[in-house]
Chain A
Amino acid sequence: MKSIISNINKAFDHRIRLGIMSVLMVNDHADFKSLKELLGATDGNVASHTKALEKQKYIKVEKSFIDRKPNTKYIATEKGRKAFQEHLDALEKLLNAGNELNK
Chain B
Amino acid sequence: MENEKYLKDLSEIRNMMSRSSRFISLSGLSGVFAGCYAIIGAVLAKSLLAGRESVYDNFDEVSKLAMNSDLVPQLILIALAVLVLAIGTAIFLTTRKARKNEQKIWDATTKRLVINFFAPLVAGGLFCLVLLQYGLLGLIAPSMLIFYGLALIHGSKYTFADLKSLGYANLVLGLIATQFIGYGIYFWAIGFGVFHIIYGIWMHRKYDRKSAE
Question: A residues touching B (Cβ–Cβ < 8 Å)?
Answer: 15, 18-19, 22-23, 25-27, 30, 34, 37-39, 88, 91-92, 94-95, 98
- Our pick among A23, A34, A91 for the contact of B9 (Cβ within 8 Å) is A91
Question: From residue A4, how far is it (CB to closest CB) to chain B in Å?
Answer: 11
B19 interface contact, C-beta 8 A: yes
Q: In the complex, A98 Cα to B4 Cα: how many Å?
A: 10
Is the CB–CB distance between A94 and B108 below 8 Å? no
Number of interface residues of B (CB under 8 A): 17
Tell me if A's interface is mostly helix, strand, loop or mixed: helix
The stretch of B10-18, B60-68, B83-91 in contact with A is: B10-18
Q: CB distance B12 to A18 under 8 Å?
A: yes
- Judge whether B134 is part of the interface by a CB distance below 8 angstroms: no
B212 within 8 A of A: no
Give the shortest distance, in Å, between B185 (CB) and chain A (any CB). 42
Instruction: Other than A15-B9, A94-B3, give 7 A-B pairs with Cβ distance below 8 A.
Output: A18-B12, A23-B20, A26-B20, A26-B21, A27-B21, A34-B20, A34-B108
Are A22 and B10 in contact, with the CB atoms below 8 A?
A: no
Residues of A near B14 (CB, < 8 A) are 22
Most chain B CB within 10 A, of A15, A19, A37, is at A19
A-B pairs with the 10 shortest C-beta distances?
A22-B16, A23-B20, A26-B21, A22-B13, A98-B3, A26-B17, A19-B16, A22-B17, A91-B6, A23-B16
Give the complex CA separation of A27 and B20 in angstroms.
Answer: 8
Indicate if the CB atoms of A18 and B13 lie closer than 8 Å. yes
Q: Give the dominant DSSP class at B's interface.
A: helix
B28 CB, nearest partner CB in chain A, Å: 24
A22 contacts which chain B residues (CB < 8 A)? 12-14, 16-17, 20
Q: Which residues of B approach A to under 8 Å, CB–CB?
A: 2-3, 6-7, 9-10, 12-14, 16-17, 19-21, 104, 107-108
- Bound form: Cα–Cα A23–B19 in Å: 8
Partner of A91, one of B10, B17, B107, B108: B10
Residues of B within 8 A of A92 (CB): 10
Shortest beta-carbon distance from A50 to chain B in Å: 14
> Which residues of chain B come closer than 8 Å to A39, judged between CB atoms?
16
Query: Known contacts A38-B16, A38-B20; is A27 also within 8 Å of B10 by CB?
Result: no
Contacts of A38 in B (CB 8 A): 16, 19-20
Nearest Cβ on chain A to B176's Cβ, whole angstroms: 36
Please indicate the chain A residues that have their CB under 8 angstroms from the CB of B10 in the complex.
88, 91-92, 95
List 11 A-B pairs, Cβ < 8 Å: A18-B12, A18-B13, A18-B16, A19-B13, A22-B16, A22-B20, A25-B17, A26-B21, A34-B107, A91-B9, A91-B10
